[in-house]
């Protein structure tokens, strides 16, 4: 990885991507593979940040397969999950059964996101047109005559200026690019935040992804020798919880997931708990002349059902399919950018709508202490495979899976 350096000279970059998350790294990789000069700027020095989503969905694995990378990817340490089970209001429930899917991989991969991003970076570096600058934070846009023509940023060696035919904001839910762009954000509201913790895993622990009861919801992601957990709290309630003390928080965890009783003391104090602010919003318009936003920068996703990474990857695939040719010719127009939004805004809206419904249905007891049993019609329906099939499709594939249409121009070269 190249550390940031002074980039005042005009770099040979057709496309400059702000943010090396799933959306930015996948887009950077696809464009470089198609022979386009691309520069990804990532503000952190590495990908080693904990508590990012760690799910790689069957549709992303399908993308990997289409790219000829699946076998290599699956050599990395990971867990494969085909049955996603939960306990809600004391009742076992099948959230997803990937064996219903018609994808190449009928399972979801659990892999720390730094490994996933590291893999994409490694694959990208095989192409001479792929450039990744770590420790380089985008701080502003360069505009000329109403058109975005580049970005300003800062790196350890000093200020940075990059000019490009197209700037892509893939810098996540607190996107600087979109803040600077003047694009209008529609807040669709997220009623919760998440307290992220890790607790050790034991051999006989239940194989459950979600535990929800009496107004409390805990997600447990298997990381091999430990559980990466997210405890949902109503927005604004985290401070009150902190004031009640760590012992009270430990008791809440045990209440919803009793098997963790023997190890909650691993949370010594609040420094072992990381609060993540959940956002749910979307841009009215994802683009301006010279600028496009994708992934969470275009539509911040809540963690409900863990589908945000999938959507970010699908955005990147669609954007690369539509942009590779015009970028090569130096002729990206508003119509190309509009086409990307048109293509991706339907699955985004539908996914956000589903997340809102699920949050309301399943997690509605967040601030209520009584048992949260699913309503009887839902329990009845759960006896059929239909709800499970629908959820599986939603989690595993999403509403409009994209397929790689960009070529590998270096293949055999």
Ligand X SMILES: Cc1cc2nc3c(=O)[nH]c(=O)nc-3n(C[C@H](O)[C@H](O)[C@H](O)COP(=O)(O)OP(=O)(O)OC[C@H]3O[C@@H](n4cnc5c(N)ncnc54)[C@H](O)[C@@H]3O)c2cc1C
Q: Give the footprint of ligand X on this chain (CB under 6 A).
A: 18-24, 41-44, 52-55, 137-138, 170-173, 176, 194, 230, 276, 278, 295-297, 301, 303, 306-310, 312
Shortest Cβ 402–ligand X spacing (Å): 15
Cα 390 to chain center, whole Å?
A: 21
CB nearer to ligand X: give 42 or 281.
Answer: 42
Minimal distance, residue 221 CB to ligand X, in Å: 7
Shortest distance, CB of residue 108 to ligand X, whole angstroms? Answer: 10
Nearest CA among 86, 94, 123, 55 for reference residue 307: 55
Give the residue with the Cβ less far from ligand X, 55 or 191. 55
Two structure tokens written together for 129: 């047109």
CB of 241 to ligand X, least distance (A): 16
Place of tokens 């936003």: 293
* Shortest spacing between CB 304 and ligand X, in angstroms: 9
Rank residues 35 and 257 by Cβ distance to ligand X and give the closer one.
257
35 or 212: CB nearest ligand X: 212
Minimum distance between the CB of residue 220 and ligand X, rounded to whole angstroms?
Answer: 11
The minimum distance between CB 176 and ligand X, in angstroms, equals 4
Q: Report CA 188 to chain centroid distance, whole Å.
A: 18
Nearest CB to ligand X, comparing residues 35 and 322: 322
Residue number, 161 or 382, with CB nearest to ligand X: 161
132 versus 404: smaller Cβ distance to ligand X: 132
Q: Which is nearer to ligand X, 148 or 307 (CB)?
A: 307
Instruction: Report yes or no: 372 and 412 within 8 Å, Cβ to Cβ.
Output: no
**Least distance (Å) between residue 40 CB and ligand X:** 9
**Closer CB to ligand X, residue 274 or residue 285?**
274
**Environment class of 139 (CB within 10 Å of its CB; exposed 0-12, middle 13-18, buried 19+):** middle
Cα–Cα distance for residue pair 233/238, rounded to 1 Å: 7
Owner of token pair 């700027």: 41
User: Cβ of residue 13: shortest distance to ligand X, in angstroms?
Assistant: 15
Pairing of strands 15-18, 166-169: parallel
Nearer to ligand X, 35 or 404 (CB): 404
CB of 364 to ligand X, least distance (A): 19
Reference 108, options 99, 118, 121; nearest CA is: 99
The token duo for 197 is: 């913790």
Cα(206)–Cα(219) distance, rounded to whole angstroms? 13
């Amino acid at each position: 990885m190249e550390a940031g350096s002074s980039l005042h000279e005009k770099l040979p970059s057709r496309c400059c991507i702000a943010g090396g998350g799933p959306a930015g790294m996948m887009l950077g990789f696809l464009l470089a593979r198609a022979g386009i000069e691309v520069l990804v700027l990532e503000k952190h020095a590495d990908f080693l940040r904990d508590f990012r989503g760690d799910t790689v969905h069957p549709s992303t694995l399908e993308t990997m397969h289409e790219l000829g990378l699946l076998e290599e990817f699956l050599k990395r340490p990971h867990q494969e999950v085909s049955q996603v089970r939960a306990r809600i209001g004391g009742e076992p429930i099948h959230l997803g059964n990937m064996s219903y899917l018609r994808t190449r991989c009928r399972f979801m991969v659990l892999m720390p996101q730094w490994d996933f991003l590291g893999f994409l970076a490694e694959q990208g570096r095989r192409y001479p047109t792929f450039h990744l600058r770590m420790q380089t934070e985008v701080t502003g846009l360069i505009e000329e005559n109403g058109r975005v023509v580049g970005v300003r940023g800062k790196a350890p060696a000093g200020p940075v200026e990059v000019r490009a035919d197209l700037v892509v904001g893939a810098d996540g839910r607190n996107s600087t690019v979109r803040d600077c762009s003047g694009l209008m954000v529609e807040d669709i509201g997220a009623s919760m935040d998440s307290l992220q913790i890790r607790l050790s895993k034991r051999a006989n622990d239940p194989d459950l992804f979600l535990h929800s009861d009496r107004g409390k919801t805990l997600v447990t992601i298997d990381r091999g020798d430990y559980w990466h957990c997210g405890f949902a709290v109503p927005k604004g309630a985290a401070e009150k919880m902190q004031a009640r003390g760590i012992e009270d928080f430990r008791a809440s965890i045990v209440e919803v997931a009793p098997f963790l009783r023997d190890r909650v003391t691993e949370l010594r104090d609040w420094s072992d708990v990381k609060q993540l602010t959940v956002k749910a919003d979307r841009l009215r318009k994802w683009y301006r002349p010279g600028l496009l936003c994708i992934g969470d920068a275009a539509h911040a996703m809540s963690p409900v059902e863990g589908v945000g990474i999938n959507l970010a990857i699908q955005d990147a695939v669609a954007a690369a399919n539509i942009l590779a040719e015009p970028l090569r010719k130096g002729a990206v127009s508003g119509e190309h950018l509009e086409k990307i939004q048109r293509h991706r805004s339907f699955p985004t809206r539908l996914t956000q709508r589903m997340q809102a419904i699920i949050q309301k249905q399943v997690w509605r007891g967040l601030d209520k202490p009584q048992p949260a049993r699913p309503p009887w019609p839902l329990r009845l329906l759960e006896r059929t495979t239909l709800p499970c099939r629908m959820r599986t499709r939603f989690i595993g594939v999403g509403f409009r899976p994209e397929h790689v249409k960009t070529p590998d121009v270096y293949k055999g070269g």
